A and B are shown apart, each in its own frame.
Chain A
Amino acid sequence: MAERRADCSWKRHISDQLKLRDRVQRHTFEEIVQQYNRLLEKSDLQAVLTERYQTEKYDVQRGHEASSLDASRSDSLHQEMSQMRIRHQEELTELHKKRGELAQTVIELNNQIQQKDREIQSNEARMLEYQQQIASLEGDCRDLRNSLQELEMANQTLKDEYDALQITFSALEEKLRKTSEDNQELVSRWMAEKALEANRLNAENEKDTRRRQAKLQKDLADAAKEPLPIEQDDDIEVLAEDGGKGAGETSPNRPISRTASRKTSQQPQGGLLDSISNIFGRRSANSFSTSPETTEPPSGGCAEVRVPTTALHVFEAHDGEVNTVRFSPGSRLLATGGMDRRVKLWEVVAGRCEAKGALTGSNAGITSIDFDSAGSYLLAASNDFASRIWTMDDYRLRHTLTGHSGKVLSARFLLDNARIVSGSYDRTLKLWDLRSKVCMKTVFAGSSCNDIVCTEQCVMSGHFDKKVRFWDIRAESIVREMELLGRVTSLDLNHDRSELLTCSRDDVLQIIDLRSNAVRQTFSAQGFKCGADWTRVTFSPDGSYVAGGSADGALYVWNVLTGKLDRTLDRNHSSAINSVSWSPSGTYVASVEKGSRAILWSDM
């Protein structure tokens, strides 16, 4: 407040002083000076006017010479004034123009400035943008580098883990190898033990049977020494000398009664012995052939084997190729199977084959036929991927075993007649159970199976890849493999299942001893050529001969003991022989050819 008052005091002082000054200096003189100036103007004007009038008076007095001067004087004054006015107006207009021009330049400069300002702003904005971009890019770069580092670290750890795993893997592999080696060793040792065991058992059995045989012989000898009443009979037949002209089937009982009438000859005795031992069906007696001195080692067959020499009966068996032929276990029936999808049954009567019937039901050609050991069932394998079983009593189709995915090339009954094993083009073997009629096991053999044979423990199969595979039935796995030189087309076992006959595409028949697993004999002949992949060869029932058909239609018979070709029967077949079968009685041999013919041979 004091300040305000102090302010006011000096301010008031100043304004008072100013007012005082004005009053003294201005107001007192203002009016006077104005009036004075007006008076001055008036007096000037008066002076001018009086001058003019005076001059006019002079002019009027003097005449016109001076008037112009005066007039000009006043005129000049006016002119001066108007000139001045004009000049002033000109100046004014010029100044206006200049002002307009200056305003224009000002406007233009302003516009330019604004433009420049805008450019500057946009440049700054762009710079800001770029800076932001740079910042974001730097951020991204940093992030990428970080992620890269992380990835490298992860990679490194993975590599380390991989190395560690690699090491453990190799160690485990090593262990596995060692254990599998050990396993192999143990298995082989076990097999060896088993083989030894089997050998031992075999030897014991042999001993046993020999003992029994000896005993029996002794008994028989004793019995024979006893005189017996014998009647002369018409129909006494001596088996030894005649070739079985009549019935192909010799009943085991007749020889006993017949030969009981003979006492003297050694041979009937042998025949009695033979026939008696035939009851037991195991021991192979001396086989009777045209060379009686042959003492052949006991080989399969209960009958007197006759080497065929002549074709007894040539007949058309099927429409089309005949693939397979088999005698029934009783040697009375002959079954043939062909591409006409039928199995035809023939009764062998007096050297001729009478058509007995035909088994239908297959949808494609028959590849193989097997009878069960009783002869009551017939098993046929077919190209329609299935195997079929008919009963022999009524020729009715009982079972169809499907499951293969390729042609079934061979099917056999196992020795217990309750199971069937079949081999197929689809490289598998299937084991079927007849009770449940399902496939119990399928083993992959690796190659198409052309033929199968069975023993008590073992199934042997011959394959396209030249190998014969031995399968253990119980273990259902391969026991052994043997490699031949050509595709295996046929397998056959001899009567006591100790030898295996193989036929292969290198036109060679081989006998393999099953106990030693070595090829014992090889049979070949010039001109013998295996006609097809399913050409079947056969042992004689006593195992002393092997017979096989060739591609040129000739039947070759080799002697096992000598190993040489015994006979060639070549004028009867017109095309390649597909299959040969020897009757279990030994009297007949049947062969079938590609050209729908079947021939029954014997030695008459």
Chain B
Amino acid sequence: MADDKDVLRDVWFGRIPTCFTLNPDEVTEREAEAYYLLLPRVSYLPVVTDKVKKHFLKVMRAEDVEEMWFEYEGTPLKWHYPIGVLFDLHASNTVLPWNITVHFKNFPDQDLLHCPSNSIVEAHFMSSIKEADALKHKSQVVNDMQKKDHKQLWMGLQNDKFDQFWAMNRKLMEYPTEDGGFRYIPFRIYQTLSDRPFIQKLFRPVSPDCNAHTLGDLLKEMYPDALTNDGERKRYQVLIHGIEPLLETPLQWLSEHLSHPDNFLHICVVPVPTD
């Protein structure tokens, strides 16, 4: 349907206005201006922040530069999460632009992984795709694809090419019609205040009596606190790509259209802001 294609395009081309500010503690030769950038929701920080690095390296001395890392309001930002997830999780209801602080020193080894090059990101991205396909098709589809197809997926993401990416990705979104959907839905539910990084469990898109499961069924199963019982005040927001889908949205459709490029449905559950 044309609507679905539009949805896919909107999801792909989603942007977050970000303002990169250099950490004041960093030693600079001159004062560094903030760098504004529209970050793609679906990409990863190391991929899209070359310009940021270049910009800030102009004012830094080479010997002071170690691996660049970002943090927001004290929280180091994990580069292996998609940018949209980071934003929804940490700063969904804050004033835009998103202010990220750029650090070049004191890399927090406890909180972050090192990312020396883009190939690490590529490896992580491909691994996510494979994991997702393992859940969806028992890895058949991704294993049938050739190396160049995998490369195409990564290049599509890296170079922000919607058509190139989706030429390959649509294969991963296919399922045999008699099943009614994927084997299991690849999803992760992120919570703000929890020691668990995310919730990921096996969940079928179709119930045994051939009813399509909805987002509400998933939440009821996985994170029932997120749901609002009748009469109660809404406590949590369920965000996917920065929007709150209706709870009766079919899960299969969500997985097909609202997944990230790594084929996972990243769901952020954030508390409703109390202004």
Contact = CB atoms under 8 A, between A and B. Distances in A.
Nearest to A99: B148
A309 interface: no
Contacts of B249: 10-11, 13-14
Given A18-B241, A40-B33, A40-B55, A30 B15 contact: yes
A29 B241 contact: no
A6 B248 CA distance: 9
Contact of B36 (A21, A25, A36, A43): A36
B36 A102 contact: no
Interface in B208-250: 241-246, 248-250
B37 A33 contact: yes
Given A14-B258, A40-B33, A29 B17 contact: yes
A28 B96 contact: yes
Nearest to B33: A40
B3 interface: yes
B106 interface: no
A417 interface: no
A475 interface: no
B7 interface: yes
A44 interface: yes
Interface SS of chain A: helix
Given A19-B10, A22-B14, A14 B96 contact: no
Given A11-B3, A14-B258, A15-B3, A29 B96 contact: yes
Contacts of B61: none
Given A9-B246, A20-B243, A102-B147, A33 B38 contact: yes
A15 B2 CA distance: 12
Interface string B95-129: 01100000000000000000000000000000000
B258 A25 contact: no
A44 B253 CA distance: 47
Interface in B51-69: 55, 58
B16 A25 contact: yes
A112 interface: no
B54 to A, nearest CB: 10
Nearest to B248: A10
A18 B243 contact: yes
Contacts of A19: 10
A114 interface: no
A2 interface: no
Interface string A498-537: 0000000000000000000000000000000000000000
A14 B58 CA distance: 42
Interface residues of A, number: 28
Nearest to B249: A10
B189 interface: no
Contact of B14 (A13, A18, A33): A18
A14 B15 contact: no
B251 to A, nearest CB: 11
Contact of A21 (B7, B55, B241, B246): B241
Interface string A466-482: 00000000000000000
Contact of A44 (B58, B96, B97): B58
B246 A13 contact: yes
Given A6-B248, A102-B148, A15 B7 contact: yes
A9 B247 CA distance: 11
A29 B38 contact: yes
B81 interface: no
A37 interface: yes
A202 interface: no
Category for how many chain B residues contact A: 20 to 34
Nearest to B97: A29
A19 B246 CA distance: 15
Contacts of A18: 7, 10-11, 14, 241, 243
B146 interface: yes
Nearest to A44: B58
Nearest to B37: A33
A17 interface: yes
Given A36-B36, A40-B33, A21 B14 contact: yes
A26 B258 CA distance: 18
A106 B16 CA distance: 41
B3 A26 contact: no
A374 interface: no
A25 B6 contact: no
A13 B245 contact: yes
Contacts of A20: 243
A24 interface: yes
Contacts of A9: 246
A40 B14 contact: no
A28 B244 CA distance: 21
A14 B243 CA distance: 7
A32 B249 CA distance: 35
A37 to B, nearest CB: 7
B87 to A, nearest CB: 9
B35 A40 contact: yes
Nearest to B11: A18
A18 B84 CA distance: 13
A48 to B, nearest CB: 10
A25 B245 contact: no
A155 B144 CA distance: 70
Contacts of B253: 11
Contact of B10 (A10, A11, A22): A22
B50 to A, nearest CB: 12
A33 B258 contact: no
Given A29-B96, A102-B148, A21 B243 contact: yes
Interface in B124-171: 146-148
B51 to A, nearest CB: 8
Contacts of B258: 14
A32 B36 contact: yes
Nearest to B19: A33
B10 to A, nearest CB: 4
Interface in A28-56: 28-30, 32-33, 36-37, 40, 43-44
Contacts of B55: 40
Contacts of B146: 106
A365 to B, nearest CB: 122
B243 A33 contact: no
A172 to B, nearest CB: 89
A91 to B, nearest CB: 13
5 contacts: A10-B250, A17-B244, A30-B38, A33-B17, A40-B35
Interface of B: 3, 6-7, 10-11, 13-17, 33, 35-38, 55, 58, 96-97, 146-148, 241-246, 248-250, 253, 258
8 closest A-B pairs (Cβ-Cβ)? A29-B17, A17-B243, A26-B15, A10-B246, A18-B10, A10-B249, A33-B36, A21-B242
Given A13-B246, A33-B17, 12 more contacts: A6-B248, A10-B248, A10-B249, A11-B253, A19-B10, A21-B241, A21-B243, A22-B10, A32-B17, A33-B97, A37-B37, A40-B35
